[in-house]
Chain A
Amino acid sequence: MSGTILEARSISKRFGGVRALNNVSLTIERGEIYGLIGPNGAGKTTLFNCLTGMYQANEGEFVFDGRRLNTEAPHAVAKQGIARTFQNIRLFSNMTALENVMVGRHLRTHAQVFGAIFRTQTTRTEEHAIVDRAHELLRYVGIESRANDIANQLSYGDQRRLEIARALATEPKLLALDEPAAGMNATETASLRKLIVALLQDGITVLLIEHDVKLVMGLCDRVAVLDYGEKIAEDVPIKVQRDPKVIEAYLGGTVG
């Protein structure tokens, strides 16, 4: 349970003339919580999107779990074991909480049209397993009582949890959370924190983009700071906090 799980090698991404990411490299160790912070527009979400196949990086590559990561399509990335959540929650909002998680099982199940039409023994067994696993995951994130509620009727915090449950259904080795605490109140943030710690204990590596500095500093093992598309620091939180470059990026130019 040690060693590097994800390595980003000199990732660059341009949008027209704008360099959203410039030569960003980082390594995430297996079993850690890795924080990615930076001011607005620093390129955090762009990096996320390159990693999860939503965008194609112009240069550089990712090595995941010892192999080159195929970022051609999001579903290929998910298959290799990276799941993500979105900054502005993207649930299947008119499906129930349970169905949302069941969709997450798509990747690791196999029923095809034939099995669906003839309801073969294999398909029925698989279908039961999907439902059971979905309930299990809802229980894990603490919203099992809402299983049959429509996703967009859940509270904000519960929607975040549901999105995590859906991501977990794909059996990821690395879970990438894009600002999971955004818009949460203190209680919700505290329980999110517990959930992330639980994930870690269950052997999932977590990559966290977050604005809530307190959460990041208290939770992450290591933190990388992006500013204007470049990595300006990468270290344990306590050292990053004192890094003059980081302070400058967050507070503006040096005084005097």
Chain B
Amino acid sequence: MRQLFEFRGGSFASKAGIAFVVVALLLLPFALTQVGTAWVRITNLAILFALLSLGLNIVVGFAGLLDLGYIAFYAVGAYVYALLASPHFGLALPFWIILPIGAFVACLFGVLLGAPTLKLRGDYLAIVTLGFGEIVRIFLNNLSQPLNLTNGPRGIARIEPVRIGGVDFRSTDTWFGFQVSGPMKYYYLLLVVLLVVIIINMRLEDSRIGRAWQAIREDELAAKAVGINTTHIKLLAFAMGASFGGIAGGIFSAIQGFISPESFVLVESIMVLAMVVLGGMGNIFGVIAGAVLLSFVPELLRYTVEPMQKSLFGKMIIEPEVIRMLLFGMALVLMMRFRPAGLWPSSARKRELGRRPE
């Protein structure tokens, strides 16, 4: 297990820095609760998006395949959880059984999507994945008859929360004199999952498979010529990315307690892709930064735009949602102009995107 926490360069300063970050992350929910429990929920969603972005990063960042329907795997994971732990089928399996099932089913869907489409390249692949994302959503919307599998647009409600050893993640408990609310418990759970996913990502990147992904991204023909079975390796990227999406979806289900097809629309796919691109394709920490940034900014706007306009003009003129989209578009345009490889790009990506094409 010593290998697990191997950090590059073990100077005192870097160790102290890491210790500081760890303590800050552990105390964060307590600080946020002072502002309002809503902020803990928002943070949880940000971590969920970070998980999603890390999954998509494998497909887009590592292997260089554009996927516009990634949210479908999130949906699959969410529905697997919902169906196995809600009154809909009268099941209540424990979450540590459901999450792997959700990851596996999402992985199957990844293969299902990948196998017939991975001969396509670039734009064509993007279009097919976009279609796939919509197909999954429409199926979820319509699979209420003849057999009521998904309960259609009404969604699935009363989904069981996570329970670990008698600890219910929906209720507030008092531990060592501290009030620990439901969202706070989920925060710690998500933090652990995020850490595991980061480690998996780092190890995949620095492995035989990761190098093959990068080789395909750089020059597919040359990759084939040195004996890489590109179809197989791309499929692996799709499957790995999809299973992370499935895990995130499962936790989403548990946190929300209610899901419906509306949560898995195209805009969500695009949002996750924007997080990956904005943060820095291929760089694990860049991608996380992108996810956190794009999750928090809209919420900050929600809390500032409305009061600001009310105090200035006495009424609301522009909806926060509109401003959010405006800023969002502007940020992406500016980024493409000034930092085409993302805020925090991977070194290889920087070299690829930084130079003008020859």
Using CB atoms and an 8 Å cutoff, list the residues of chain A in contact with chain B.
52-54, 73-75, 78-79, 83-84, 86, 90-95, 99, 102-107, 109-113, 115-117, 119, 123, 126-127, 130, 150, 166-167, 169-170
Using CB atoms and an 8 Å cutoff, list the residues of chain B in contact with chain A.
3, 200, 203-204, 207-212, 214-215, 218-219, 221-230, 236, 240, 348, 351-352
Min CB–CB distance A74 → chain B (angstroms): 4
Residue with the highest number of chain A CB atoms closer than 10 Å, among B210, B211, B214:
B211
Q: Bound state CA distance, A54 and B229, in angstroms?
A: 13
Q: Bound state CA distance, A204 and B189, in angstroms?
A: 56
What 8 A-B pairs come out closest when comparing CB atoms? A107-B227, A78-B227, A116-B207, A74-B224, A92-B218, A90-B222, A94-B351, A111-B208
Known A99-B211, A111-B209: A117·B200 in contact at CB below 8 Å: yes
Q: Bound state CA distance, A99 and B214, in angstroms?
A: 10
Residue of chain A at shortest CB distance from B3 = A119
Q: Bound state CA distance, A104 and B230, in angstroms?
A: 13
A112 touches B209 (CB 8 A): yes
B219 touches A75 (CB 8 A): no
| Beyond A106-B228, A112-B209, A116-B204, 20 extra complex contacts between A and B, CB < 8 Å | A54-B224, A73-B229, A78-B227, A84-B225, A90-B221, A90-B222, A92-B222, A95-B214, A95-B348, A99-B211, A102-B211, A103-B211, A106-B208, A111-B209, A113-B209, A113-B236, A117-B204, A127-B208, A167-B226, A170-B226
Q: Bound state CA distance, A235 and B223, in angstroms?
A: 34
A116 touches B226 (CB 8 A): no
26 contacts between A and B (CB under 8 A): A52-B225, A74-B227, A75-B224, A75-B228, A78-B225, A90-B222, A92-B215, A93-B218, A95-B214, A95-B218, A102-B211, A103-B211, A103-B212, A103-B214, A103-B215, A106-B211, A106-B215, A111-B209, A112-B209, A115-B207, A116-B203, A123-B207, A126-B208, A127-B207, A169-B226, A170-B227
Contacts of A150 in B (CB 8 A): 351
B211 touches A94 (CB 8 A): no
Min CB–CB distance A130 → chain B (angstroms): 7
Known A103-B228, A106-B226: A113·B204 in contact at CB below 8 Å: yes
B226 touches A78 (CB 8 A): yes
Contacts of B215 in A (CB 8 A): 92, 95, 103, 106
Q: Bound state CA distance, A223 and B32, in angstroms?
A: 77
Tell me the interface secondary structure of chain B in the complex. Answer: helix
Interface residue from A94, A113, A126 paired with B352 (Cβ < 8 Å): A94
Min CB–CB distance A97 → chain B (angstroms): 14
Known A104-B226, A107-B227, A170-B226: A92·B208 in contact at CB below 8 Å: no
Min CB–CB distance B113 → chain A (angstroms): 18
Q: Bound state CA distance, A115 and B229, in angstroms?
A: 18
Known A73-B224, A169-B226, A170-B227: A94·B218 in contact at CB below 8 Å: yes
Q: Bound state CA distance, A107 and B229, in angstroms?
A: 9
Contacts of B228 in A (CB 8 A): 75, 103, 106-107
A113 touches B240 (CB 8 A): yes
Residue of chain A at shortest CB distance from B199 = A117
Contacts of A91 in B (CB 8 A): 219, 222
B203 touches A75 (CB 8 A): no
Contacts of B3 in A (CB 8 A): 119
A93 touches B209 (CB 8 A): no
Residue of chain A at shortest CB distance from B233 = A106
Residue of chain B at shortest CB distance from A116 = B207
A75 touches B229 (CB 8 A): yes
Q: Bound state CA distance, A167 and B208, in angstroms?
A: 17
Known A109-B208, A111-B207, A119-B203: A83·B218 in contact at CB below 8 Å: no
Q: Bound state CA distance, A93 and B351, in angstroms?
A: 9
Min CB–CB distance A92 → chain B (angstroms): 4
Contacts of A102 in B (CB 8 A): 211
